[in-house]
Amino acid sequence: MSKEDVGITVSKNADFSEWYTQVVLKAKLADYAPVKGLIVLRPDGYSIWESLRSTFDKKFAKNGIRNGFLPILIPESLLGKEQKHFAGFNPEVFWVTHSGTNEIGDRLALRPTSETLAYTMYAKWIQSWRDLPLKINFWNTALRAEIKATKPFLRTSEFLWQEGHTVHTTQEEAEKEVMKILEIYKNTVEEELAIPVTTGKKSEKEKFVGAVYTTTMESIMPDGKALQMGTSHFLGQNFSKPFEVKFADKDNVEHFAWQTSWGVSWRLIGAMIMAHGDDKGLVLPPNVAPTQVVIVPIYKNEEGKEKVLSKVDEIKKQLETKEIRVHVDDRSGLSPGYKFNDWELKGVPLRIEIGPKDIEKQSIVIAKRHNREKSTLSFNEIEKIFTILQEIQKEMLEKAKEQAKENTIEISNYDEFKSKIERGGFFNAPWCGKLECEEKIKEETGADIRVIPFGSENEDLKCMYCKEQSLSKPVFARGY
Ligand SMILES: [Zn+2]
């Protein structure tokens, strides 16, 4: 087995798309399933998802949200109850038409999203104001047929996600919830995945079908394309009316409830790969890395091996008392160089090298994955590794913020926009708020409104397209 067999063979700059796919497959995060459009998650990939899930669960719980479970099949009659919503999803829905050889009368959809199902249940469960707020999150998968080429984590016909659905007595409370969730999303993505996001609203054209409005967080990827990282929707009474989600108030008067729904998917893993990876492979932020530290023992003979391995064991235990996730690579028959490359490909944040010479010097060599810096630590400084991992986490976010800043361009002139859109980026440009301009811009440049950042409603500016008074300064970009 040569290095070329396992390493990444294209550079991130030269062929971003191919680089991405190679990293996913070769770092063993995921693989293609036998059915087109589907992927299989491998333990390292799933572990990252579990880490995110556990962080979200803690934050949701603090906010009074509990987890539930919904079945995957939704009857067509239910899915069609909110017409706009149904029309929006219809082309992507997988249908179950038979059970065995018997045709099913009311076709069953494989859940593209669960609003209709959840709210049918909610209507049953909610009677009075005492039952509210009702806040349930569901960890499951959603299925939406992808006609375009599959990209692991970014575009697949089935994806892991969470969908939260809350019900409130007042509009104000529901809208607060929408913002609270967006805030949880933002700080989790920034703190855990070290990716900066821009938050704001979607345009009318881009909002979730059936929502009054959609708030979103968007990130700019190193190839200049935007990625939607998560959305939180204010549904108003758009669903509570057709689904009769009603409550009796203190005077026993019935009202339609106010609702929200929100979700993030394993797309976040795709974003993490793109944001931090390099020509050597994956680069994992320590907070979500399945293995945070890998120790590679180096020895030439049996006597040396024993000495090194006993010290390695000691260091491993020291790190584990600090709850650091550590792995010892004692595979025989592989050179240290091979192992270094292998762990770099897998993105482990910190590597420790230790051989007979290091033991003589009472020190270890540490190599950071994100900037590939090497240094030494003496045996009595092992505890510092905990802090070093935290520093790596911070440095990765800082670097990603700088990249995002470099890729963000203020623009007011449409010709300039057209000349620059090809090389990608987030373009902050004034817009009149009219669908017509939004559509023309999309048609002529392939860029859409990714997000209208909070507070971007502005001063005296002119729409980049029609030159009329602008209403806001959205982020225009080509997206994934
Ligand atoms: Zn305009």
Q: What is the pLDDT of residues 38-71, one digit of tens each?
A: 999 999 999 999 999 999 999 999 999 999 999 9
* Residue 53 burial by Cβ neighbours in a 10 Å radius (0-12, 13-18, 19+): middle
Q: Compute, in angstroms, the gap from residue 452 CA to the centroid of ligand 1.
A: 15
pLDDT digits (tens, 9 = 90+) for 231-262: 999 999 999 999 999 999 999 999 999 999 99
Q: Compute, in angstroms, the gap from residue 237 CA to the centroid of ligand 1.
A: 30
Strands 326-328 and 350-354 turn out to be unpaired
Q: Tell me the mean pLDDT in the region 416-427.
A: 95
Q: Residue holding tokens 């045996």? A: 379
What pLDDT is recorded for position 5? 58
Q: Compute, in angstroms, the gap from residue 429 CA to the centroid of ligand 1.
A: 11
Q: Compute, in angstroms, the gap from residue 425 CA to the centroid of ligand 1.
A: 21
Nearest to 316 by CA among 305, 326, 306, 304: 326
What pLDDT is recorded for position 137? 98
Q: Tell me the mean pLDDT in the region 159-185.
A: 98
Does position 348 have pLDDT exceeding 50, yes or no? yes
Separation of alpha carbons 18 and 470, rounded Å: 40
Q: Compute, in angstroms, the gap from residue 460 CA to the centroid of ligand 1.
A: 14
Q: Compute, in angstroms, the gap from residue 428 CA to the centroid of ligand 1.
A: 14
What pLDDT is recorded for position 148? 79
CA angle 445, 447, 451 (to 5 degrees): 155
Mean pLDDT of the chain: 95
Peptide bond into 290 cis (omega under 30): no
* Tally of CB atoms within 10 A around 40: 12
Q: Tell me the mean pLDDT in the region 15-32.
A: 97
Q: Tell me the mean pLDDT in the region 169-177.
A: 98
Q: Which of 80-89, 268-277, 292-301, 351-360 has the lowest mean pLDDT?
A: 80-89
Q: Compute, in angstroms, the gap from residue 32 CA to the centroid of ligand 1.
A: 43
Separation of alpha carbons 272 and 474, rounded Å: 24
Q: Compute, in angstroms, the gap from residue 202 CA to the centroid of ligand 1.
A: 17
Q: Tell me the mean pLDDT in the region 277-296.
A: 98
Q: Tell me the mean pLDDT in the region 181-205.
A: 98
Rg (Cα) of the chain, in Å, rounded? 25
Domain 3-276 has CATH 1.10.1060.10: no
Q: Compute, in angstroms, the gap from residue 404 CA to the centroid of ligand 1.
A: 26
Q: Tell me the mean pLDDT in the region 397-421.
A: 95
Q: Tell me the mean pLDDT in the region 383-396.
A: 98
pLDDT digits (tens, 9 = 90+) for 213-239: 999 999 999 999 999 999 999 999 999
Residues 6+ apart with CB under 8 A from 141: 72, 111, 158, 159, 160, 161
Does position 91 have pLDDT exceeding 90, yes or no? no
Q: Compute, in angstroms, the gap from residue 155 CA to the centroid of ligand 1.
A: 31
* Residue 403 burial by Cβ neighbours in a 10 Å radius (0-12, 13-18, 19+): middle
Does position 458 have pLDDT exceeding 90, yes or no? no
Q: Compute, in angstroms, the gap from residue 466 CA to the centroid of ligand 1.
A: 4
- 3-state DSSP of the chain: CCHHHHCCCCCCCCCHHHHHHHHHHHCCCEEECCCCCCEEECHHHHHHHHHHHHHHHHHHHHCCCEEECCCCEEEHHHHCCCHHHHHHHHHHCEEEEEECCEEEEEEEEECCCCHHHHHHHHHHHCCEHHHCCEEEEEEEEEECCCCCCCECCCECCEEEEEEEEEEECCHHHHHHHHHHHHHHHHHHHHHHHCCCCEEEECCCCCCCCCCCEEEEEEEECCCCCEEEEEEEEEEECCCHHHHCCEEECCCCCEEECEEEEEEEECHHHHHHHHHHCECCECCCCCCCCCCCEEEEECCCCHHHHHHHHHHHHHHHHHHHHCCCCEEECCCCCCCHHHHHHHHHHHCCCEEEEECHHHHHCCEEEEEECCCCCEEEEEHHHCCHHHHHHHHHHHHHHHHHHHHHHHCEEECCCHHHHHHHHCCCCEEECCECCCHHHHHHHHHHHCCEEEEEECCCCCCCCECCCCCCECCECCEEECEC
What pLDDT is recorded for position 157? 97
CATH of domain 408-477: 3.30.110.30
- Phi then psi for residue 374, to 5 deg, are -115, 145
Q: Compute, in angstroms, the gap from residue 459 CA to the centroid of ligand 1.
A: 15
What pLDDT is recorded for position 183? 98
| Domain residue spans of the chain | 3-276, 293-388, 408-477
Q: Compute, in angstroms, the gap from residue 473 CA to the centroid of ligand 1.
A: 11
Q: Tell me the mean pLDDT in the region 360-385.
A: 97
pLDDT class of 3 with cuts at 50, 70, 90: very low
Does position 301 have pLDDT exceeding 90, yes or no? no
Q: Compute, in angstroms, the gap from residue 474 CA to the centroid of ligand 1.
A: 12
Helix 267-276 crosses helix 43-62 at what angle (to 10 degrees)?
A: 110
Task: List 143's β-bridge partners, or say none.
Answer: 158
Nearest to 246 by CA among 127, 327, 389, 70: 127
Residues 6+ apart with CB under 8 A from 93: 79, 109, 110, 112, 143, 144, 145
pLDDT class of 437 with cuts at 50, 70, 90: very high
pLDDT class of 149 with cuts at 50, 70, 90: confident
pLDDT class of 143 with cuts at 50, 70, 90: very high
What pLDDT is recorded for position 212? 98
CATH of domain 293-388: 3.40.50.800
* Residue 18 burial by Cβ neighbours in a 10 Å radius (0-12, 13-18, 19+): middle
Q: Tell me the mean pLDDT in the region 316-323.
A: 97
Separation of alpha carbons 280 and 342, rounded Å: 9
pLDDT class of 304 with cuts at 50, 70, 90: confident
* Tally of CB atoms within 10 A around 336: 14
Does position 84 have pLDDT exceeding 90, yes or no? no
pLDDT class of 147 with cuts at 50, 70, 90: confident
Question: Which strands make up the sheet holding 102-110, listed edge to edge?
Answer: 73-75, 102-110, 94-99
Strands 102-110 and 73-75 turn out to be antiparallel
Q: Compute, in angstroms, the gap from residue 478 CA to the centroid of ligand 1.
A: 19
pLDDT class of 405 with cuts at 50, 70, 90: very high
* Tokens read off for 387: 């802090």
What pLDDT is recorded for position 4? 46
Q: Tell me the mean pLDDT in the region 451-467.
A: 91
